[in-house]
């Protein structure tokens, strides 16, 4: 019976103590006024921004420059092989566009014919095997002239005759090839995508 009275006392005394603690807390809050709290209050902070005194939006100009990614693709390809054509990557793209040919064709032919101008007739600037046959060498005064002449020939004499793929071009460019020329040119064109 002693244990029973202890349990009974616990369930009566504990709620009474909790009730008295609650009353005491409310009494203390009431004495300090309605603004007092038991939690600290942090002051409000103010943010300042440095804005111009006047609206100058009319004076702000925005320009977006677009660059042709093809030039960078060609330039990186030429740089990878340390080609003297690297400074003329934009000429290659411009000439290709002017004569409506694939921009990858000129560097691919240069790679196949001369390893990008590393093996060419002396002072010829002819990286393309253009007009070179049995003792005859076509020479250009500089690399850009060669680029534009090859693009013109591919765009007018070849493309206009329906010869646009390396296999079709090979039939006139180097007719004695067993197909390896066209395969090589196509392989280099695929690297330039």
Q: Name the nearest CA neighbour of 158 among 179, 174, 176.
A: 174
What pLDDT is attached to residue 12?
A: 81
For the chain, what is the domain count? Answer: 1
What pLDDT is attached to residue 104?
A: 96
Cα 142 to chain centroid distance, Å, stands at 32
Q: Is residue 64 part of a domain?
A: no
Contact in structure between 163 and 169 (CB atoms under 8 Å): yes
Burial 1-17 (b: 16+ CB within 10 A, else e): eeeeeeeeeeeeeeeee
Kindly report the length of the chain. Answer: 193
Write phi, then psi, for 133 (nearest 5 degrees). -160, 145
Integer Rg of the chain from CA: 42
Tokens matching residue 119: 């093996």
Q: Is residue 131 part of a domain?
A: yes
Which CATH number goes with the domain that contains 183?
1.10.530.10
pTM of the model: 0.65
Q: Is residue 48 part of a domain?
A: no
What pLDDT is attached to residue 105?
A: 96
Residues with pLDDT less than 70, the chain: 1, 29-67
Contact in structure between 128 and 113 (CB atoms under 8 Å): yes
Sorted by sequence, the CB contacts under 8 Å of residue 144 that are 6+ apart come out as: 88, 91
What is the tens place of the pLDDT at every residue in 10-47?
Answer: 778 888 788 777 787 777 766 666 555 555 555 666 66
Q: Is residue 149 part of a domain?
A: yes
- Rounded to whole angstroms, the Cα distance separating 130 from 140 reads 10
Q: Is residue 51 part of a domain?
A: no
Q: What is the dihedral of CA 31, 32, 33, 35, to 10 degrees?
A: -150
Range of the domain at 152: 69-191
Q: Is residue 16 part of a domain?
A: no
Considering all CA atoms of the chain, what is the largest pairwise distance in Å, rounded to the nearest integer?
Answer: 129
Q: Name the nearest CA neighbour of 110 among 37, 188, 35, 172.
A: 188
Q: Is residue 166 part of a domain?
A: yes
What pLDDT is attached to residue 180?
A: 94
């Amino acid at each position: 019976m002693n244990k029973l009275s202890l349990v009974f006392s616990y369930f009566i005394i504990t709620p009474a103590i909790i009730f008295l603690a609650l009353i005491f807390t409310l009494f203390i809050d009431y004495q300090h006024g309605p603004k007092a709290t038991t939690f600290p209050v942090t002051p409000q902070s103010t943010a300042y921004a440095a804005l111009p005194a006047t609206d100058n939006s009319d004076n702000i100009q925005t320009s977006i420059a677009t660059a042709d990614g093809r030039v960078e693709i060609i330039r990186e390809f030429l740089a990878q092989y340390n080609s003297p054509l690297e400074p003329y990557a934009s000429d290659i793209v411009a000439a290709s566009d002017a004569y409506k040919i694939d921009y990858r064709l000129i560097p691919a032919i240069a790679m196949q014919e001369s390893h990008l101008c590393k093996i060419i007739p002396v002072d010829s600037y002819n990286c393309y095997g253009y007009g070179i046959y049995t003792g005859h060498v076509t020479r250009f005064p500089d690399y850009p002239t060669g680029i534009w002449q090859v693009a013109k020939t591919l765009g007018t004499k070849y493309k206009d005759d329906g010869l646009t793929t390396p296999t079709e071009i090979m039939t006139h460019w180097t007719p004695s090839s067993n197909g390896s020329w066209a395969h090589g040119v196509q392989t280099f064109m695929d690297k330039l995508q």
